[in-house]
Amino acid sequence: MQSTTSSFTMRALLVTGFLSITIASPFSVAKDTNTESETCSYNEVEMLKLSPREFDQNLEKGWREVAKAEACREAAADLIHTYYTKNEISKGAMRTFVWHEGQLRAEVGQYQRAISLMKQARKSPEKDMSGWNYYVDATIAFLQSDREKLKNQREKLAAVPKPEGFNPTDADGNPIEIQWPPNLNIVDKFIRCFDQPYSEVYTECTAEK
C-alpha cells in the first residue's frame, strides 16, 4: 500500500504462480488522502469479473483500489478471499492471492490468520529456485516473534545461488536490475525492526527501538 506515498513502500519481489518477477510490491496502491470519508465500498460483481492479473496487479482495479485507504485494508483482504473462493483459480495464482491476503491480515494485526494463509503460499521445494519459501518462513517467524527462526531463514535465503542465465526484463523486454536473492532486504528489515508491528516494518521502522 503505497505510492505517492501510501503506508507501504515499493518493494521488488518474486511473486508466485502466474506472475513472474514484478517491481511493485503486493502493497503498491495509489495514495488516497481522503481516508476518513472512505466507505470501503466496491462493486463485487464487477470485481469478480476481473482477470486474476487485473484483480491482483492493476493499481486502479481489484483489491488495490479498495486498499488505497488504510481504513480499508481489512475490506481489501476480505475481497481477495471472496475473489478466490468464488472464481476458479490456478494453483500458482492461489499462492499469490493467499499471500497478499495474508500480508493484509498482518497489516491490520490479524497475525494468526495471516500465518495460516502464508503457510499456504509455500511452493514445492523442487520448484523454489529463488528462496521464496525461506522468505515466507522468515515472515512467519517475524509474526511469531521467533528471532532465532527468523535469523535462520535469513541465512538460508542469503545462500540461495542465482540461477544461470538469470536476466530479468520488464514488459518491453528491457533488462532490469533486481536484487538477488529477492526479498533479502525485507528479511533484513524484519531483523532490524524486530518487536515492532508488521505494519511499521515497511514504513516508519528504520532500526530497532
Per-residue pLDDT of 161-191, as tens digits, reads 998 888 888 888 898 888 899 999 999 999 9
pLDDT at 10: 30
Domain around 88 = 13-201
128 half-sphere exposure, CB direction, 13 A CA radius? 17
pTM score of the predicted model: 0.80
29-33, 53-57, 198-202: which is most confident: 53-57
* 208: in domain: no
* 3: in domain: no
* 6: in domain: no
* 119: in domain: yes
Is 90 exceeded by the pLDDT of residue 20?
Answer: no
Q: Which residue has the cell 516473534?
A: 145
| φ, ψ (nearest 5 deg) of residue 175 | -60, 140
Percent of the chain with pLDDT strictly greater than 90: 66
| φ, ψ (nearest 5 deg) of residue 14 | -95, 115
The number of folded domains in the chain is 1
Angle at 12 between CA 6 and CA 13, to 5 degrees: 115
Rounded Cα gap, residues 163 and 100, in angstroms: 26
The pLDDT tens digits for 92-117 are 999 999 999 999 999 999 999 999 99
Closest CA to 53 of 64, 40, 42, 38: 64
Comparing 142 with 12, the larger pLDDT belongs to 142
pLDDT band at 12 (very low <50, low <70, confident <90, very high): very low
**CA dist 179 → 64, 132, 149 (Å):** 25, 13, 23
* 4: in domain: no
pLDDT band at 206 (very low <50, low <70, confident <90, very high): low
* 5: in domain: no
pLDDT at 33: 37
* 8: in domain: no
pLDDT at 207: 56
pLDDT at 39: 82
Rounded Cα gap, residues 69 and 56, in angstroms: 17
Is 80 exceeded by the pLDDT of residue 209?
Answer: no
* 44: in domain: yes
Is 60 exceeded by the pLDDT of residue 156?
Answer: yes
